[in-house]
Amino acid sequence: MSRAGPTEKQAEARQNQVAPRNQVSYQNPVTLNGHRNGVYCVRFSPDGNVVVSGAGDHTVRLWHLPVVVDQARQQQRRQLLAELDDDRFSVREHASWELARLGREVEPILRKAIAEAASLEVRARLRRLLTALRMPAEQQHRAEVRSVAFSSDGRFVASGSRDETIKLWNARTNRAMATLDGQSGTIWSVTFSPDGSTLASGGLDNSVRLWNVAEPRLRATLKGHEGPVHGVAFSPDGTTLASAGSFDRTVRLWNAATGVPEAVLREHGDAVLCVAFSPDGRMLASAGYGGTIRLWGLATSRPVLIRSFQGHQDTIRCVAFAPNGTMLATGGDDNALRLWEIDGGRLVAVLADHAGAVTSVSFSPDGRAIATGSLDDTVKVRSVPVGRG
């Protein structure tokens, strides 16, 4: 997994003046370039300061969002660079750790410091720090990364790949902790339970699998779908797991603790690719082929179809609720991100600034930003007008 940011020229230009997240608009998103192939998945970290993405170039990247680099922060960075030449080991280690936390955001100043450093030892430390910001080649996936997820405490990232493996990463050290295998075929979707103890995955083998995180191992295999499982999502309270069975045209609800099936939703007339719970757990959204989003009510003993949203011109690849539960975001093969009001189903906005299919969407935890991934090889981050998210 690599830490990433804007290109070096962009980072140098922005070092003293970068638009903060709450100043980015629908029309002027921050575009994160770096992947060399289509981006299939994006997720915000729990603190909203980092976006993780996975792509067809086999990589997982952590993007530290642009922030204002004021004089105080500039002085702090200069101090950390100076501490790399301190005689005390503990001071040098602390400075290295703090600079590493900033990721590729500080690459330009590290490179400049290497060129200006008088000490060969300091140059060596700076080069080691630059190297540490990148994922070792042997830890990368061997094929497309189709899904990523952050644990609720922000410590771990999970990634699922076409190489038939799931990797668990330490988001702080940038290193793989474990590789989970045994699910045959592409891993289309991964998600952590709200308490972080369980990881769910959906795959090409038509199964949903539950993995123990603390001691990485398979806990249960849930069978019932008759097609690849393209999407999985835990309810906010962690008691229910939803899965999208693609070509069997169903959404299934499972008891997350026992694995017992609780309901099968059959209203879709074509493949179902994505599912998402509302923040209060009382609704579920599902979508896929055909360009229709279905909203299900879960407040009663049996799920009820509340309404359908139509507007996309092609397959819908992703769906997400805003944290305040008032808005729904969807993206798909028509290269557009659409925002809908939950009450009444009114279309709020159509954002068509990607040059390829919108494959993934994620709201920041505070609802003030939306990240999207696209087959145009980019990640975009936009702000949400006050009151929308």
pLDDT of residue 267: 92
pLDDT of residue 21: 38
pLDDT of residue 133: 62
Which of the four pLDDT bands, split at 50, 70 and 90, describes residue 10? very low
Tens of pLDDT, residues 174-193: 788 999 998 999 999 999 99
Who contacts 235 (Cβ-Cβ below 8 Å, separation ≥6)?
241, 242, 256, 277, 281
pLDDT of residue 204: 97
pLDDT of residue 136: 59
Question: Is residue 19 scored above 50 in pLDDT?
Answer: no
Give the chain's mean pLDDT: 87
pLDDT of residue 135: 56
Query: Do the Cβ atoms of 274 and 230 come closer than 8 Å?
Result: yes
List domains and CATH numbers for the chain. Answer: 1-19+67-134 (no CATH), 35-59+140-383 (2.130.10.10)
Question: Is residue 22 scored above 50 in pLDDT?
Answer: no
Which of the four pLDDT bands, split at 50, 70 and 90, describes residue 331? very high
Check residues 98 and 357 and name the one with the higher pLDDT. 357
Question: Is residue 18 scored above 50 in pLDDT?
Answer: no
Please give the share of the chain, as a percent, with pLDDT higher than 90. Answer: 65
- Dihedral of CA 36/38/43/47: which sign? positive
The mean-pLDDT minimum among 121-125, 199-203, 214-218, 267-271 falls in: 121-125
Question: Is residue 324 scored above 70 in pLDDT?
Answer: yes
Best-predicted range by mean pLDDT (15-19, 110-114, 317-321)? 317-321
pLDDT of residue 131: 75
Q: Work out the average pLDDT over 224-234.
A: 97
Of 16, 13, 11, 17, which is closest to residue 34 (Cα–Cα)? 11
Question: Is residue 110 scored above 50 in pLDDT?
Answer: yes
For residue 234, count other CB atoms closer than 10 A to its CB: 21
Which of the four pLDDT bands, split at 50, 70 and 90, describes residue 323? very high
CA distances to 211, 360, 374 from 170, in Å: 17, 22, 25
Query: Do the Cβ atoms of 37 and 359 come closer than 8 Å?
Result: no
Of 104, 94, 102, 72, which is closest to residue 5 (Cα–Cα)? 104
Question: Is residue 372 scored above 90 in pLDDT?
Answer: yes
CA 381 to chain centre: 12
Tens of pLDDT, residues 49-107: 889 999 999 999 988 776 444 566 678 888 988 898 888 989 988 888 778 766 656 77
Of 105, 100, 133, 1, which is closest to residue 54 (Cα–Cα)? 1
For residue 352, count other CB atoms closer than 10 A to its CB: 11
